[in-house]
Structure 1
C-alpha cells in the first residue's frame, strides 16, 4: 500500500460529506460477536511497512493505549522494524501508564527498548520544542486513545506538541483511533478566562471528534493564531471501518484503559458528563471504586435523589440506586449512597444533560458544596464546564432545560466550524 493511500489530504472532508469511509476498499465485514471490524491508523501504518514515517528520526507521543489488536505496542513494533526513534514523549500518567491522575513518569529510559523517554505532561510549547530538538527528530507520531471530553488531557498534549512541531517545521503524523463515545457533540464551549490544564481552547465539552479530526481542526482553526503563525505539516492515517454512529462497545478495537479511572468503554460513555462531579466537594464521582464516574454519591443520602433524577425521564439511560465504599479519594472507607448510571441506548444518550439533571437535583441535598480549593482561580467545576454559567444557574435553581438551552448557539457554531475537518460520516438528524 502506498503512503498516499494511507494519509488524509485536503479533500478528505469531502469523503465524510458523501458518506464514504476514508481509504475504504469495500464493505467492512462484521467482527466476531457481532461487533464492527475497524482498523486503526496504527494497524494500517504497520501494514504498509511503516512507509509514512520512514526517512529520518521519529519522535513518538504515546502511552499504553497505542496497541494493535494483538496488544503489541506501537513503539515496540516500530523499534523491532528498525524505524529510527529519537525519543518517546509521555503524557499524563506516563508512557507506560504507571502514574496516577495529575502525575507523570518523568524523564528516563524505557526498559524494554532502551529508548529515551521525555516527560510531555504539562510541557509548554517551548519545552516541547526543546525536547524535540534534543531528540533530533524530523517526524512526530501521535498515537493515544482519547475518550471524547474536553477535559481529558491527552488532546491538549496533542495540541501543544503540534504547536511545537509547527514552530520547528517538523512533520506531524497522527495515527487515528475511534472516539469511543461516537461522533456527536454536546455541551458548552470553553469561554475566555477559564483556560486550564483541563481545557486550553474553545471547543465544546464533548467534542465528538477523533484525534485525527481534532488535529485537523487545530491546524485549520487554532494553530495559525499561535506565535508561530502557521499550521503543522500534518498527516493523518485514518481508521478503516469506523464512523460517528459507532460507539466503543460496538467495535472490535481492544480497550486498554487510557488512565487508571477509565477502566471500560462504559466509563467513557458517561465521563463527558459525570466528570463534572469532580467539581463538587460533597459528592464522590466514584474514584476509589471499580466503576468511577458511573457511581456518584455521598454518605447520608438515600434513594430519593435517584428517584428525583429518574423522574426527569432522561433518554438512553437507566439509573440504579447504589451503595459503595470508596477505597481512596473522597469519603475513603465510608458508605456512600447514590446513583449507578447505566447507558441503555448510546444513540440517544446525552451525558451532559444527564449530569446537569443530577446536579440540579443534588443542589437540593443537605450539605451540597462546590469544590473551591484553589485560591485565585475559578472553582474547579467552572474550569470543567468552561465558564461560571453552569454553577451560577444551578445555584439559582434554574430548570435543566434552561441550563442546557443556554449553550445551544455556541454548540451549533462549534459543529459548523468542525465540519470541514471531519473524516468520517456522522449520524443524520
Structure 2
C-alpha cells in the first residue's frame, strides 16, 4: 500500500507496534517507505496538550519531519495541508476509546473528507475498541447539535472500531464524495474483548485517559463536563470519580440505591490539582466497575446525573449547554430537569438507537 508513494501519518502517542515502538519511528527507519509528514490531533502528536489544546506546527526532533497541527482544521484548509506536504497516502493510526465525543474519530472523519478533496488515499490501521464492541448504547446525535464532539448521527457509545467507523462514514455520510479508503484489519480481536484481554500495551490516548479502566467509565462520566461538577480531571482517577465542593454522602447513597449492573457506586472525596474546582475538596461518587460485560456506562452516567440533580441543591448545567453537545440533543437535559428517572431517559433514545444499530451492522468487520 505504501511502496512508491509519499506517506503522511495521522497519529499520536498511541500509534505503537505490539512491542511499543512508535509507528513514525518504525516507518522513518524503513528505506522502503517515503515518510514525508506527520499530522497531530487534539492533545498533539506527542500528547503534551490538555483537553481543547494541541502542539502547533513544529519539527519532530527525532525524525526531522514536519508535524502539522490538525486540531480545529477541516475541509479545504485541511486538504491544503495535505497538498502542501505533497502527501499521496495518509495512514491513520490512533487508539479510540469508543465514545462519540472523543474527538479522534472526528479527526478521522475530517481527514477522510479532506483527503477526498486533495485526491489523497486514506489507510486506517485498525485498533481494538477498548470497551468492547458487542453493541451500541445511548442517544444518537441530532444533526442540529453537531460539533467536533459529534459531527454525524451515531450513538454515544458506538461499539465500533476506527476502521469500521471509517467504512460507515464513507458509506453513510461522505457518499457524495467518498475517500479512497483502505482498512487494515486486526488479527484475533473479538467484539466481546476488553482491552486488558488483548495483551497489547496501553498507551494513554490523552492526558486524562491513563488506563483502560478510565475508558470503561468515560462514555458515562464525561457527561459531567456539561455540569458544574468535576469529572475527575486533575486527580489520579479521572472519569472514575465525579463530585463538587458541598456534595456529600446523600448523592452516593442515592446513586448506589439505583443498583446499576456491573458497578459499585460509593462515597468519595478528592481534591483536583487542575481543571474544575482545582485545589478544593470535593465530595462525590467513585465508580468501581466489577463486571465490565454487565456495566453500561451511559446508563450509569445518566443515573449519576439524575441523582446529583435530585440530591444536591448546588447542581447546575454549564451555561453554554455543553451537555446538549455531549448527549447529542437537548432531550437528556430537559428530561432530567423534568424529574425523569434513568429508565425514562433511556427509553427516549430507544428508537433512534435501533435505527443506528441496523445501519452499524452493515459496516462491522469482526464477528
- Superposition map of 1:289-328 within 5 A: 289-328=235-274
- Pick the aligned partner of 2:163 from 198, 204, 212: 212
Q: 2:112 maps to which residue?
A: 162
Structure 2 unaligned regions, length at least 5: none
What's the secondary structure of 1:193's corresponding residue? helix
Q: Does the alignment pair 1:413 with 2:359?
A: no
Q: Which structure is richer in relative contact order (CA contacts within 8 A, separation 6 or more)?
A: 1
State how far apart, in whole Å, the 1-side matches of 2:67 and 2:248 are: 48
Q: Does the alignment pair 1:193 with 2:193?
A: no
Question: By how many angstroms is 1:323 displaced?
Answer: 1.1
| 8 A Cα contact 2:136 2:158, kept in partner | yes
Report the TM-score when normalising by structure 1: 0.84
Q: 1:181 maps to which residue?
A: 131
The alignment of Structure 1 onto Structure 2 pairs a total of residues equal to: 364
Question: By how many angstroms is 1:119 displaced?
Answer: 0.7
Q: 1:64 maps to which residue?
A: 13
What's the secondary structure of 2:111's corresponding residue? helix
Question: Any idea what the Cα deviations from partners look like across 1:314-335, whole Å, max 9, x if unmatched?
Answer: 0011112111111111111111
Structure 1 unaligned regions, length at least 5: 1-51
Report the TM-score when normalising by structure 2: 0.97
Question: Any idea what the Cα deviations from partners look like across 1:292-351, whole Å, max 9, x if unmatched?
Answer: 110011112222211111111100111121111111111111111111101111111100
- Pick the aligned partner of 1:77 from 12, 22, 26: 26
State how far apart, in whole Å, the 2-side matches of 1:235 and 1:187 are: 29
- Pick the aligned partner of 2:337 from 375, 386, 395: 395
- Superposition map of 1:104-143 within 5 A: 104-143=54-93
State how far apart, in whole Å, the 1-side matches of 2:149 and 2:158 are: 14
- Pick the aligned partner of 2:191 from 229, 244, 250: 244
State how far apart, in whole Å, the 2-side matches of 1:102 and 1:331 are: 18
Q: 1:253 maps to which residue?
A: 200
Question: By how many angstroms is 1:169 displaced?
Answer: 2.6
What's the secondary structure of 1:217's corresponding residue? helix
Question: Any idea what the Cα deviations from partners look like across 1:136-166, whole Å, max 9, x if unmatched?
Answer: 1111100000001111110011000101112
Q: 1:266 maps to which residue?
A: 213
